[in-house]
Structure 1
């Protein structure tokens, strides 16, 4: 049990591979829409851009919900260089390539990559993970695999 807890804590401490590339102010209280670029750690040449809402201190004080941001996110993934695929999970459930906390404990924004072998396409699903009620908030983007290098590293 303790080993599982330590492994989970280590996973949450893993540095994010996101780079903020834009920020748009949406109202007078300081709420913003942040745009991050995320490179897939196992697929060279694919970059995803995620847009999400970042609540201001004024909004947090007025709403009383101090430690939580909305789960909504938008995602677009594109080929940004030669695609080289290393050891990816080819299972139906795919694998998580990005995670960012949206509250202190119970909610996170995740990006999961799924390989659609029949159509030679990578699917990137941005979704919220909420322990209490789950979430139906999601966005999807795909990258076709034309002339792809399948590395055996």
Structure 2
């Protein structure tokens, strides 16, 4: 289980992909400021044999997939409304410098929450990313501080 602030990831699946111990991990992440939205994130977890064979002992690949959906009544708390949104989850995928991150961005014009999964590194940032959207249009959504105008 991983944590960032109040966002927790709960492992809900683990699929073995080869005989060397490599797995695909699937985690459920509940947005700490948006009740009723759950994101499922998957990533590659390298086994010890693969780490020894390839010599890159301390990190997993940057590949991440994400799918977010309404899983209950939606209540939106205090969220960032700027173009860069806000980080709702992160976990380390290397010994020290590489993180798997999920950012939430509110697309006001289309009344949609966007969730972007990517990796962050000190240098040599990765272009590998995944995106998922949760449309709010036509849904009964409660905004704690009122819907942005």
Does the pair score TM above 0.5? yes
Query: 2:4·2:91 contact (CA, 8 Å) conserved in 1?
Result: no
Question: What secondary structure, in the 3-state scheme, does the structure 1 residue paired with 2:127 have?
Answer: coil
Cα 1:13–1:79, aligned 2, differ >3 Å: closer, same or farther?
closer
Partner of 1:133: 124
Q: Is there any run of 5+ residues in structure 2 with no aligned partner, and where? A: none
Partner of 2:35: 44
Partner of 2:105: 114
Query: Which protein is richer in strand relative to its size?
Result: 2
Specify which of 66, 71, 77 is matched with residue 75 of structure 1.
66
Partner of 1:6: none
Distance between the aligned counterparts of 1:21 and 1:132, measured in 2? Answer: 31
Question: What secondary structure, in the 3-state scheme, does the structure 2 residue paired with 1:58 have?
Answer: helix
- Residues paired across the two proteins, number: 142
Query: 2:86·2:105 contact (CA, 8 Å) conserved in 1?
Result: yes
TM-score normalised according to structure 2 size: 0.91
Partner of 2:96: 105
**RMSD (CA atoms):** 1.6
Question: What secondary structure, in the 3-state scheme, does the structure 2 residue paired with 1:119 have?
Answer: coil
Cα shift at 1:138: 0.3
Q: Which moved more, 1:76-85 or 1:125-134?
A: 125-134
TM-score normalised according to structure 1 size: 0.89
Match status 1:86 vs 2:47:
no
Question: What secondary structure, in the 3-state scheme, does the structure 2 residue paired with 1:17 have?
Answer: strand
Distance between the aligned counterparts of 2:77 and 2:86, measured in 1? Answer: 13
Query: 1:113·1:122 contact (CA, 8 Å) conserved in 2?
Result: yes
Query: Which protein is richer in helix relative to its size?
Result: 1
Cα deviation per residue 1:22-78 (whole Å; 9 max; x = unaligned)?
A: 010000011000000000000000000001000111111111111000010000000
Moved over 3 A (4+): 12-16
Cα shift at 1:105: 1.7
Cα shift at 1:14: 4.8
